[in-house]
Amino acid sequence: MSLLEITDLRVGFDTEDGLVQAVRDISLTLDEGEILALCGESGCGKSVTAMSVPRLLPPETTRLSGSVRLDGRELTTLPEADLRHVRGKEVSVVFQEPMTSLNPSFSVGYQITEVLRRHERLSRQAARSRAVELLELVGIPAPQRRMKEYPHQLSGGMRQRVMIAIAVACSPRVLIADEPTTALDVTIQAGVLDVFRDLRDRLGTAIILITHDLGVVADIADRAVVMYAGRAVEQAPVAELFANPRHPYTLGLMNALPSAAVGGRLAEIPGMVPSPLSDPDECAFQARCPRAQGDCRAARPPLERHADGHLAACFHPGGKQ
Amino acid sequence: MTRLWRRFKRRPMPMAGLVLVVAFVLLALIGPLVTGDPTAQDYLATLAPPSGAHPMGTDDLGRDAFARIAHGAQVSLQAGVLSTLLAMAVGIPIGLVAGFYRRWLDPVVMRLVDVTLAFPFLVFAVGLAAIIGPSLKGVVFALGFSQLPAVIRITRGEVLAVREMDYVAAAVADGAGDGHLIFRYVLPNCLNPLIVQATVAIPGAIIGEATLSFLGLGVQPPTPSWGVMLTTAQQYLSDAPWLAVWPGIMIALATLGFNLLGDGLRDVLDPRSGR
């Protein structure tokens, strides 16, 4: 049994235009100490998939079905009161925006000790010394002094490290990192990724990394799930995925990387993402796909096994041309 | 804090306001101790012009105007601060709950606020004076109640904005409960506009107290209040104009001081007011 098992997850949101289906029948697993990347473009459902684990979606408008099991415990039906003991303790989240994700009215030290006192029932003293250790763990110099500082006194990279320190304070089983490096500049990105790697090695934390940056995926992830229009279109160990991409969308993403630019021009994927309001029985990518044929419009390709641990949903899979 | 102070003290007008407010508070706190009895009458010196013995002159009963101004400052300060505290103590929790939980509560509270706003303040004050009798207590209740809609509105509006902030979402993700979210995340980050509101509400209440006392609905003679002093002075405007001038100047200066201070605080505390 895996640490985290998501089965047939569907998430939709009630809007004035009708039900917007953000996630469609996603199934995935996460093992202890594994770093899993969820990648795809904006709106493909990667964040919604991850946020469904600790149920951080607005309850009034969210329509969720399927199963999310952490250590065999079903989270989708867990009462809100019990869920509070899961959030921050067993499943933590690091958000994208380090500049605005810390409470401006309290010191950094207070915000870390707060979580420790809530979930671990530590004394003020014990929580403080643990907080200093955590700041050290995420690579913040002079942690004693930083404890007393307020968020506005810290740089973006430092704030992101504080966010990570808060997220891992209670040694969660699963850490969800939602584009944790997007708002940071490149040199700081590498440092933050090192912190994640270090946490995984030292604490055995499993990490779900949400990103649209394939560079980050290649750098740190063990396995990747590529999502498109709410579905997983390809899933593989990272080395295998980069060596042998099967789905034309994955290939398109790789060709759109600046390092892959030919003749100084970035290759883009033509066309638009289909509307999340409708879901015709066809491949969602067919309108933009260079390999699309009649069968792509006649039925939706199922997620099929192509090699060991390598799944792709395409009638005409192939490697790099 | 020090950063805010440094930005604040560079501005002349807010600093002038701060000086006026401090002077007003000192007058209210220390003045009554150093001046004599404000109700002691001296029939040998009625309506006396300012002199060494009576720096602000005396009124129709020979009472020292300076002593009455100093004691009146105390009444004004009480009316201003207590009514504002009352409005905050009642309004902030209501605004917090309405803004945080929304659902059916929010529209109900906001419509009630609209109804309250439509109610004329003076009519309410007259009604209240009729029920509990004209007194400082009645003034504080009437003024506090009239400030309530503004406090609820401001709190609710801030709560609506703050609860959408990333750090609130992050706190939810860390397993924070509602009480914790409200008191540690939402309330502290809503306070700035409320502080500014207080500095605007206090001078309003000072004028309100003077108005009600002037009309006989507030503090009753012989207790000195700036409003009561104005009522008396009205009859002797040609014989002893200084009796009207002192309370008038005091009301104007105290109000001006709080307003200047409030403007300065708003500039420093509220990023939305530009710069």
pLDDT, tens digit (0-9, with 9 covering 90-100), for A224-283: 999 998 899 999 999 999 988 899 999 888 888 777 666 667 777 878 888 878 788 888
Amino acid identity, residue B126? V
pLDDT mean across residues, chain A: 87
Give the confidence band of B225 by pLDDT, cuts at 50, 70, 90.
confident
B23: left (phi over 0), alpha (psi -120 to 50) or beta: alpha
pLDDT of residue B275: 37
A167 in contact with chain B, both atoms CB, cutoff 8 A? yes
Chain B neighbors of A85, CB-CB under 8 A:
175
Facing residue for B175 by CB, picked from A101, A119, A163: A119
pLDDT of residue A48: 92
CA distance A42 to chain B (A): 19
| β-bridge partners, A18 | A15
Instruction: With H, G, I as helix, E, B as strand and everything else as coil, classify residue B43.
Output: coil
| β-bridge partners, A207 | A35, A175
pLDDT of residue A137: 84
Please state the rounded mean pLDDT for residues B75-100: 92
Kindly determine whether residue A93 and residue B170, on different chains, have CB atoms separated by under 8 Å: yes
Chain B neighbors of A100, CB-CB under 8 A:
165-167
Spatial distance between the Cα atoms of B117 and A7, rounded to a whole number of angstroms: 54
pLDDT of residue A54: 92
CA distance B188 to chain A (A): 6
Residues whose CB falls within 8 Å of the CB of residue A215, separated by 6 or more in sequence, listed in order: A257, A259
CB A313 within 8 A of CB A307: no
- The nearest alpha carbon in chain A to B183 belongs to A105
Facing residue for A101 by CB, picked from B166, B175, B184: B166
Chain A neighbors of B172, CB-CB under 8 A:
56, 87
**Cα dihedral sign for A42, A46, A48, A50?**
negative
CB B31 within 8 A of CB B71: yes
pLDDT digits (tens, 9 = 90+) for B18-66: 999 998 888 888 877 777 777 777 777 777 777 777 777 777 777 887 8
Please state the rounded mean pLDDT for residues B158-180: 90
Q: Which of B174, B180, B185 to mutate to test the interface with A (most CBs of A within 10 A)?
A: B174
Mean pLDDT by 10 residues, chain A (321 residues): 90 89 91 92 88 90 91 90 90 87 90 91 90 88 90 87 89 90 79 87 91 88 92 92 90 80 72 80 87 86 86 82 48
pLDDT of residue B84: 93
Kindly determine whether residue A103 and residue B175, on different chains, have CB atoms separated by under 8 Å: no
pLDDT mean across residues, chain B: 85
pLDDT digits (tens, 9 = 90+) for B119-163: 887 888 788 878 887 888 888 888 898 889 999 999 999 999 998
CA distance B170 to chain A (A): 6
Chain A neighbors of B174, CB-CB under 8 A:
87-88, 92, 115, 118, 166-167
CA distance A230 to chain B (A): 23
pLDDT of residue B270: 62
Of A130, A180, A136, A132, which Cα lies nearest the Cα of A156? Answer: A180
Of A100, A102, A104, which Cα lies nearest the Cα of A112? Answer: A102
Chain A neighbors of B195, CB-CB under 8 A:
none
pLDDT of residue A160: 87
CA distance B265 to chain A (A): 17
Interface of B with A (CB under 8 A): 165-167, 169-177, 180, 184-185, 188-189
Of A168, A169, A174, which Cα lies nearest the Cα of A75? Answer: A174
CB A182 within 8 A of CB A215: no
Kindly determine whether residue B167 and residue A102, on different chains, have CB atoms separated by under 8 Å: yes
Q: Is residue B166 pLDDT above 50, yes or no?
A: yes
Kindly determine whether residue B184 and residue A114, on different chains, have CB atoms separated by under 8 Å: yes
Chain B neighbors of A84, CB-CB under 8 A:
175-177
CA distance A60 to chain B (A): 10
Helix (H) or strand (E) holding A305: strand A304-307
Kindly determine whether residue A87 and residue B170, on different chains, have CB atoms separated by under 8 Å: no
Facing residue for A56 by CB, picked from B165, B172, B180: B172
pLDDT of residue A320: 59
pLDDT of residue A226: 93
ipTM of the modeled complex: 0.81
pLDDT of residue B274: 43
Residue located via tokens 């065999």: A72
Of A34, A183, A208, A194, which Cα lies nearest the Cα of A97? Answer: A183
pLDDT of residue A5: 92
pLDDT of residue A273: 82
Kindly determine whether residue B170 and residue A95, on different chains, have CB atoms separated by under 8 Å: yes
Kindly determine whether residue A115 and residue B174, on different chains, have CB atoms separated by under 8 Å: yes
Count interface pairs A-B at CB distance under 8 A: 60
